[in-house]
A and B are shown apart, each in its own frame.
Chain A
Amino acid sequence: MSDLPLKDPLPVDNVADGEPRPGKVRNPIGWSTIMLAALVAASAVLVYRRDGVNGLTEILSHDLSLFGGILPRVLAGCLLGAFIAEILPHDKVSKSLGPDSGLKGLLIGTAFGAILPGGPFTAYPVASALLGVGADFGATIAMVVSWTLIGYGRAVAWELPILGPDFTLWRIVISLPLPLIAGAFGRFVYARLHRGAAT
C-alpha cells in the first residue's frame, strides 16, 4: 500500500504557490546544537590555554577558508534538493523507492547514493527531498549509507590521499553489502515500530 502514512503525500499543485513543503521542517536551534556549541567553546578555551592566541587564530583561519570553499557546494546541494523535490513525480518515486519497493528499491537507493556527486551538502538535501516525494526510510537509508561508504566523492578527494589506495579500495569493497543491510534492517524495524504505534 503506498498509502501507508509514512509521510504526508506531497500535493504537487500547492508547491507552485510557494507554500513550504509538507514534511519539510527547518529545524530551530535545539538542545543538541547548544550542547555542541558549548563543546566547541570549551575546546577553544583548551586550545587557547595550550597554544595562546596564535593557536586560536591559526585554526580559525584554516577553518574559515574551508568554510568558504564549502559554501558554494552547500548552495548547489540545496538547489539540487529543491529541484528534485519539485520535478520528481510522487507516484513513480513511491513505487520505485517506497515501502513496498522491495530489494529493487534498496538497490536503486544504493546505486543512486553511489553515483551522487558532491559531499554532505548534496546528499542530505537530496535524501530529504526523496523522503518528501514518497521514498521510504529503508530506501533512503540505503542511499545515505551508500553515499557515505561507497560514494566516490569523499573517497577520491580525501580518503585516497590520506589512507592510500590499498586500504581505501578494500574498505569500499567490504562496504558494498552494507547499504543493503542497513536499508533492509531499517525498513524491517520501521515497519514493526509503525505497526506498534498504530495499534
Chain B
Amino acid sequence: MNATFLIDAILWGSVVVLGWIAWQRGRPVFVTSVREGGMDFIHIVPRIALGVIGSGYIAAVIPAEFIIGALGPTSGWLGVATAVVAGAATPGGPVIGFSIGAVALKAGGGSPQVLAYVVAWALFAFQRLVLWEIPFMPAKFVWFRAAVSLPLPFIAAAIAMAVGKP
C-alpha cells in the first residue's frame, strides 16, 4: 500500500514538474499538451476496460495446473520453451503471471523454467500487447519489440542455470 502510494506520488509529481516546464514555454504549449493527453486518455479507456475486465475471465478459465505441471525441475529446455509459450498465452494485468509463477515454485517447479515463464509473460503476454501496448504505441513498434524480445526468456533461463540462482 505504501509502495503504491509512493509510486503514485512520484508519477503525479513528474506530471506536475513537466506540466510546469510546459507552462513556462507558454500557455499554448501547455494547453495543447493537456488536450493531446486528454484525447489519448479518452481513446484508450474503452480498450483498457476490455483489458482489465476481460483478463479476470480469461484468468478464471486458464488451465493453471497444466502450466505448473509443465515447469518441473527436470523439464530442461523443453520446460523453458513450454514456459515461454505459456507466458505469452497468460493474460496480462499486474498479478496473474506472478501468481501462477509463485504456485509453480511452491509446487516444485524448476527455478529457470519459472523465471523464463515470468520473464516471457512480462515481456510479451499476447493480451497485454494487444490491449495495452497497441493503443499507446505504433503497432509496428509493438510487434517488432515483441519479436526481438523472444530470445530474452531463454537467455534469462541460461543465466539462471549457469549461476544456479534463484
Q: Which residues of A contact B (CB under 8 A)?
A: 15-18, 20-21, 23, 25-27, 29-30, 32-33, 35-37, 39-40, 43-44, 46-47, 50-51, 55, 59-60, 62-64, 66-67, 70-71, 73-87, 117-122, 124-125, 127-128, 131, 137, 140-141, 144-145, 148-149, 153-154, 156-159, 162-164, 166-167, 169-171, 174-175, 177-178, 181-182, 185-186, 189-190
Instruction: Please give, as numbers and ranges, the residues of chain A lying within 8 Å of B111 by CB-CB distance.
Output: 167
Q: Which residues of B contact A (CB under 8 A)?
A: 3-4, 7-8, 10-12, 14-15, 18-19, 21-22, 25-26, 28-29, 32-41, 43-45, 47-50, 52-58, 60-61, 93-95, 98-99, 101-102, 105, 111, 114-115, 118-119, 122-123, 127-128, 130-139, 141, 144-145, 148-149, 151-152, 155-156, 159-160, 163, 165-166
Contact: A16 with B29, CB < 8 Å? yes
Query: How many A-B contacts if CB must be within 8 Å?
Result: 259
Given contacts A80-B14, A82-B34, A153-B7, whether A182 and B133 have CB atoms under 8 Å apart is no
Name the distance in Å between B61's Cβ and chain A's nearest Cβ: 5
Which of A75, A120, A189 touches B41 (beta carbons < 8 Å)? A75
A-B contacts, 30 of them at CB < 8 A, read A18-B35, A27-B139, A29-B47, A33-B47, A36-B54, A37-B54, A40-B54, A43-B58, A60-B56, A74-B48, A77-B11, A78-B44, A79-B18, A79-B41, A83-B15, A87-B25, A87-B33, A120-B132, A120-B133, A127-B136, A127-B137, A127-B141, A154-B122, A157-B4, A163-B101, A174-B156, A174-B160, A175-B119, A182-B148, A185-B148
Contact: B144 with A137, CB < 8 Å? yes
Instruction: Please give, as numbers and ranges, the residues of chain B lying within 8 Å of A29 by CB-CB distance.
Output: 47
In the assembled complex, the Cα of A140 lies from the Cα of B45 at a distance in Å of 24
Contact: B138 with A162, CB < 8 Å? no
Name the distance in Å between B109's Cβ and chain A's nearest Cβ: 11
Given contacts A63-B56, A124-B133, A175-B156, whether A18 and B32 have CB atoms under 8 Å apart is yes
User: Chain B residue with minimal CB distance to A186?
Assistant: B148
Given contacts A85-B36, A170-B166, A174-B156, whether A16 and B28 have CB atoms under 8 Å apart is yes
Instruction: Please give, as numbers and ranges, the residues of chain B lying within 8 Å of A175 by CB-CB distance.
Output: 119, 156
- Interface residues of B, dominant DSSP: helix
- Additional A-B contacts beyond A74-B48, A153-B7 (4; CB < 8 A): A55-B60, A169-B166, A178-B155, A186-B148
User: Chain A residue with minimal CB distance to B18?
Assistant: A83
- Interface residues of A, dominant DSSP: helix
Instruction: Please give, as numbers and ranges, the residues of chain B lying within 8 Å of A79 by CB-CB distance.
Output: 15, 18-19, 33-34, 37-38, 41
